[in-house]
Amino acid sequence: MLQIFNSLSRQKEAFQPIVPGQVRMYVCGMTVYDYCHIGHARVMVVFDVVVRWLKASGFAVTYVRNITDIDDKIIRRAQENGEHFNDLTARFIQAMHEDLAALSILPPTHEPRATAAMADIIAMIQVLIEKGFAYAGTSGDVYYAVSRFARYGTLANKRLEDLRAGARIEVEEAKNDPLDFVLWKAAKPGEPGWDSPWGQGRPGWHIECSAMSTRCLGEHFDIHGGGMDLKFPHHENEIAQSEAASGHRYVNVWMHNGFVQVNEEKMSKSLGNFFTVREVLRRYQPEVVRLFILSSHYRGPLNYADENFNHAKASLNRLYTALRGLPVVDSSVEDAWFSRFRAAMDDDFNTPEALAVLFDLAREINRLRSEDEGNAARLGANLRYLGGLLGLLQCDPELFLKGSPTPQNNQHVTGNLAGILDDVAGVTETTGLAETAIDRLLAQRSAARKSKDWVEADKIRDQLQVAGIVLEDTPNGTIWRRG
């Protein structure tokens, strides 16, 4: 049975959906004022794999991932650029979709936007005011009264008195308690705003997710996910708002992925140590990025370092090398390999252990290849299937090993995906020598070998090796891959 670590109880729990056979899951998405960085990619890949495994386990999954398309950062960036905030967000929503498609991240069932959910947001705020959990300040802002919610701090394991000790009220704020947080912000001159009972304004960040999740999934659903940095205060505030409004439990299971670190510091835009997905894809194929992310358990830290990406690249090369040249046959997944894989994934989505199964399977394929090609091909089909559950091994082995980043037979590939991958392939450091140049050198080497000019043949091999091209001489000729 699937076990998931619940951040609320701080332990693994047997997963029991509210409605048998169905899973409703919400994950906090992007605030779209800039390009996605690798920290965002981790969240997206982690929960993409969660969805893939839930579906493979027989659940019907409704997956909601929101877009925050109005907030202070968006307004500030649009003002700096001298453009309408809608133009800014439209551009970065398109860029986000391109990045996610490049990483083979499946689209969610629903992708609500804050600007399209104003009626739901305003309605929830009105309910909170009527129930005494919120109030309008003298500044025109509306605040949530944290002291009215007895369970505040449960998710983050924090006590009100400890939180209050370090809190303070800013000069421009008109709230009753330093811990109270804004639900509705009055619009300042020149800022975008929406009509409300409290005047022109826009929602606070926390109320957006409460309103959008309950609109799409109901007032009580199965799983809520996001980065560890969202546990407090964002998710804590979501619980307070949603449960105060509905009068009952909001979410059964809370999942949080760990930080991406650079030199043992959290990667973030505020620290200036972040790398965009597009920058990373100029150096590494998309599946290498996925494997890098999945090589660490989702709850632990993930260290951004060239050696870790290079290790992921070498590991993926091993898997594709095992598949290279095998005939494509139907998989027979209900075997010992699948049982091991399932045990790993059912243990709180333990992708490092699941990957270990793939590498063991690749070793067995290599062992069998020369003595039992039929069995090797069957295991190769299993390897492709299990890799696919992680969003890996979706490329033609020959193309992947020669540096092509494009997945094959990918149902959610769009025209935009082709564009971004073409752009990436044109500048990627891993592309190196063009295929035509490699083929020309291989032909020269083959001619040298036929004439027994071993010095020239070795010289060409060394030249290719320096360019990152690995050769393998087989009875059927020389094959190559990028190292």
Is 36 annotated as belonging to a binding site? no
Whole-number Å distance between alpha carbons of 425 and 404: 8
Whole-number Å distance between alpha carbons of 220 and 243: 9
Q: 285 by DSSP, 3-state: which?
A: coil
Sheet-wide strand order for 260-262:
265-266, 260-262, 302-303
In angstroms, how far is CA 160 from the centroid of its own chain?
33
Q: Given the structure tokens 């990152």, which residue do they identify? A: 468
Is 188 annotated as belonging to a binding site? no
Q: 459 by DSSP, 3-state: which?
A: helix
- 48: nearest Cα among 336, 286, 322: 286
The count of other CB atoms within 10 Å of the CB of residue 217 is 21
Instruction: Please say whether the beta carbons of 170 and 180 come within 8 A.
Output: no
Q: 255 by DSSP, 3-state: which?
A: strand
Is 234 annotated as belonging to a binding site? yes
* Backbone angles phi and psi of 61, in degrees to 5: -110, 130
Whole-number Å distance between alpha carbons of 2 and 156: 24
Whole-number Å distance between alpha carbons of 217 and 160: 30
Strand partners, 226: 256
Is 209 annotated as belonging to a binding site? yes
Is 28 annotated as belonging to a binding site? yes
In angstroms, how far is CA 405 from the centroid of its own chain?
18
Please classify residue 234 by burial: count the beta carbons closer than 10 Å to its beta carbon, then call 0-12 exposed, 13-18 middle and 19+ buried: middle
Whole-number Å distance between alpha carbons of 223 and 457: 59
Q: Given the structure tokens 């009753």, which residue do they identify? A: 176
Instruction: Please say whether the beta carbons of 148 and 132 come within 8 A.
Output: yes
- Binding region for Zn(2+): 28, 209, 234, 238
Q: Which residues are annotated as a binding site?
A: 28, 209, 234, 238, 269
What residues form the annotated binding site for ATP?
Answer: 269
